[in-house]
């Protein structure tokens, strides 16, 4: 009886169906897991080149990044994070989306071609991708990437936007003054300026970093003004040569003689020329002439200087027949700029010789009985 039971048991076991585990094919390659040498990767050929019992489909990791080749989206370049920005199945470490010759994982702007990898602010984002000034223009196309300029205005056509393109400009209250006077200067420079430096030849102050200021000039001459500006990226310098003309002027208003020494000249209270000085010959001898001198001395005059003066006579003689100019005791030619009228001052000039350390100037009126001459505004300028 026992013998028959065991025979039946053996037949039952032999004929029973296989378990679910035996029939499982995880990778759907037609090879049941129990016989598959690579359970997670389909390999119906079951190739095992080194006969180690592990199919080649599972054992290969060419770039040794811990991802087997069969699952690696970039087999020849290590990319354990398997980053795939555009989800094209090719890892960024292997792809060059913008076709600029740089792999995406090394490209500071993988979606816009930028083979030179320009990065103006060194933030790791290529200019071709970033918009540092948030003006809607990416830096690679922006003619002023650090200062917002959505209109991209470029007045001088140098491919640097006006907002960035530092341009030195200035205004002044005057350009021609007399010794001791001031000129007001104002920088009107453009281009997001954050630094400026002025240089005022012959001025006080001589150098300044102010945007606006007053400058005093205390010597005769023609002087340059220069302005350097910068916005930290771009810079410019504007030099205005001989911009300031400073002259010496002596007006005898209110009987002010200063350094002029008079021999016979007096302050005029006449309505004919109230601010003038005058010379008058009132000798009782009609044929007698008298020289009346007005003199002063100057040092270090610039070359090519000219003396200007205003004068008129009483109408009974040619003015320049009775009025002369001496420089260092030598009479010099006088030119007429505007001849005097019967009641109006004329304008006259004299060229001062060059290379003189000291210049002694004398105005000489040679007058006869009842003659008189009026004089005012002695001015010296560099041509």
Report the CATH number at residue 258: 2.60.120.260
The region that residue 382 occupies, defined by phi over 0 for left and psi between -120 and 50 for alpha, beta otherwise, is beta
In this structure, are 376 and 255 located in the same domain?
A: yes
Is residue 226 in some structural domain? yes
Q: How far apart are CA 319 and CA 313, in angstroms?
A: 6
Q: How far apart are CA 139 and CA 158, in angstroms?
A: 17
In this structure, are 255 and 275 located in the same domain?
A: yes
- Segments forming the whole domain that contains residue 365: 251-382
Residue with tokens 């995406």: 104
Residues of the chain with pLDDT under 70: 1-21, 49, 59, 283-286
In this structure, are 363 and 336 located in the same domain?
A: yes
Q: Characterize the bridge pairing of strands 176-178 and 235-250.
A: parallel
Output the pLDDT for position 96: 72
Q: With helix as H, strand as E and coil as C, how does the chain read?
A: CHHHHHHHHHHHHHHCCCCHHHHCCCCCCCCCCCCCCCCCCCCCCCCCCCCCCCCHHHHCCCCCCCCCCCCCCCCCCCCCCCCCCCCCCCCCCCCCCCCCCCCHHHCCCCCCCCCCCCCCCCCCCCCCCCCCCCCCCCCCCCCCCCCCCCCCCCCCCCCCCCCCCCECCEEECCCEEECCCEEEEEECCECCCCEEEEEECCEECCEECCCEEEEEECCCEEEEEEEEEECCCCEEEEEEEEEEEEEEEECCHHHCCCCCEEECCEECCCCCCCCCEEEECCCCCCCCCEEEEEEEEEECCCCCEEEEEEEEECCCCCHHHHEEEEECCEEECCEEEECCCCCCCEEEEEECCCCCCEEEEEEEEEECCCCEEEEEEEEEEEC
Q: How many domains does the chain have?
A: 2
Is residue 185 in some structural domain? yes
Which residues, at least 6 apart from 340, have a Cβ–Cβ distance to it below 8 Å? Answer: 311, 312, 313, 319, 346
In this structure, are 183 and 243 located in the same domain?
A: yes
Is residue 12 in some structural domain? no
Altogether, the residues listed in the chain come to a count of: 383
Is residue 139 in some structural domain? no
Output the pLDDT for position 174: 96
In this structure, are 273 and 297 located in the same domain?
A: yes
Q: How far apart are CA 333 and CA 352, in angstroms?
A: 10
Q: How far apart are CA 81 and CA 49, in angstroms?
A: 28
Angle at alpha carbon of residue 53, lines to 51 and 56, rounded to 5°: 75
Is residue 54 in some structural domain? no
Report the CATH number at residue 183: 2.60.40.10
In this structure, are 262 and 372 located in the same domain?
A: yes
Contact yes or no for 277/268 (Cβ under 8 A): yes
Is residue 337 in some structural domain? yes
Q: Give the C-alpha distances (Å, rounded to integers) separating 237 from 160, 166, 169, 197, 228.
A: 16, 9, 9, 9, 4
Tens digit of each residue's pLDDT (9 = 90 or more) over 93-147: 877 777 777 777 788 877 777 888 888 778 777 777 777 778 778 777 887 777 7
Output the pLDDT for position 286: 64
Q: Within 10 Å of residue 20's Cβ, how many Cβ atoms?
A: 7
In this structure, are 374 and 258 located in the same domain?
A: yes
Give bridge partners of residue 331 from the DSSP assignment: 326
In this structure, are 325 and 258 located in the same domain?
A: yes
pTM: 0.63
Is residue 267 in some structural domain? yes
Which residues, at least 6 apart from 60, have a Cβ–Cβ distance to it below 8 Å? Answer: 68, 69, 70
Which of 201, 228, 247 marks a domain boundary?
247
Output the pLDDT for position 283: 67
In this structure, are 367 and 323 located in the same domain?
A: yes
Which of 219, 247, 275 marks a domain boundary?
247
Output the pLDDT for position 196: 97
Output the pLDDT for position 21: 56
Which residues, at least 6 apart from 21, have a Cβ–Cβ distance to it below 8 Å? Answer: 33, 34
In this structure, are 187 and 291 located in the same domain?
A: no
Which of 203, 223, 247 marks a domain boundary?
247
Estimate to the nearest angstrom the gap between the alpha carbon of 200 and the chain centroid: 19
Q: How far apart are CA 291 and CA 112, in angstroms?
A: 91
Contact yes or no for 105/99 (Cβ under 8 A): no
Give bridge partners of residue 216 from the DSSP assignment: 182, 204
Is residue 255 in some structural domain? yes
Q: How far apart are CA 212 and CA 150, in angstroms?
A: 30
In this structure, are 213 and 308 located in the same domain?
A: no
In this structure, are 216 and 228 located in the same domain?
A: yes
């Amino acid at each position: 009886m026992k013998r028959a039971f065991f025979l039946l048991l053996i037949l039952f076991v032999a004929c029973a169906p296989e378990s679910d585990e035996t029939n499982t094919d995880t990778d759907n390659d037609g090879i049941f897991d129990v016989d598959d040498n690579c359970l997670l990767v389909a390999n119906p050929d079951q190739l095992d080149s080194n006969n180690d019992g592990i199919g080649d489909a599972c054992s290969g990791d060419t770039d040794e990044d811990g991802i087997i080749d069969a699952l690696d989206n970039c087999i020849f370049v290590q990319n354990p994070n398997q980053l795939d920005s555009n989800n094209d199945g090719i890892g960024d470490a292997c792809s060059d989306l913008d076709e600029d010759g740089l792999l995406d994982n090394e490209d500071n702007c993988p979606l816009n071609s930028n083979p030179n990898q320009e990065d103006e602010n060194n933030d790791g984002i290529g200019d071709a991708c970033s918009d540092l000034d948030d003006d809607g223009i990416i830096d690679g196309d922006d003619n002023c990437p650090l200062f917002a300029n959505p209109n991209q205005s470029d007045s001088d056509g140098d491919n640097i936007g006006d907002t960035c393109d530092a341009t030195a400009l200035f205004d002044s209250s005057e350009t021609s003054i007399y010794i001791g006077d001031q000129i007001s200067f104002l920088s009107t420079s453009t281009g997001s300026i954050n630094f400026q430096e002025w240089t005022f030849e012959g001025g006080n102050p001589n150098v300044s970093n102010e945007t606006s200021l007053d400058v005093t000039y205390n010597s005769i001459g023609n002087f340059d003004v220069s302005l350097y500006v910068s916005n930290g990226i771009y810079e410019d310098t504007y030099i205005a040569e001989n911009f300031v003309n400073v002259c010496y002027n002596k007006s005898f208003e209110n009987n002010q003689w200063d350094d002029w020494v008079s021999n016979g000249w007096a302050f005029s209270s006449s309505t004919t020329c109230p601010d003038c000085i005058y010379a008058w010959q009132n000798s009782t001898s009609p044929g007698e002439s008298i020289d009346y001198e007005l003199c002063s001395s100057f040092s270090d005059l610039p070359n090519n200087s000219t003396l200007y003066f205003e004068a008129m006579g009483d109408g009974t003689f040619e003015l320049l027949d009775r009025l002369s100019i001496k420089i260092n005791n030598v009479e010099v030619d006088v030119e007429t700029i505007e001849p005097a009228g019967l009641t109006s001052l004329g304008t006259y000039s004299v060229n001062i010789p060059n290379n003189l350390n000291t210049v002694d100037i004398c105005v000489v009126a040679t007058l006869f009985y009842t003659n008189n001459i009026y004089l005012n505004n002695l001015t010296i300028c560099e041509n």
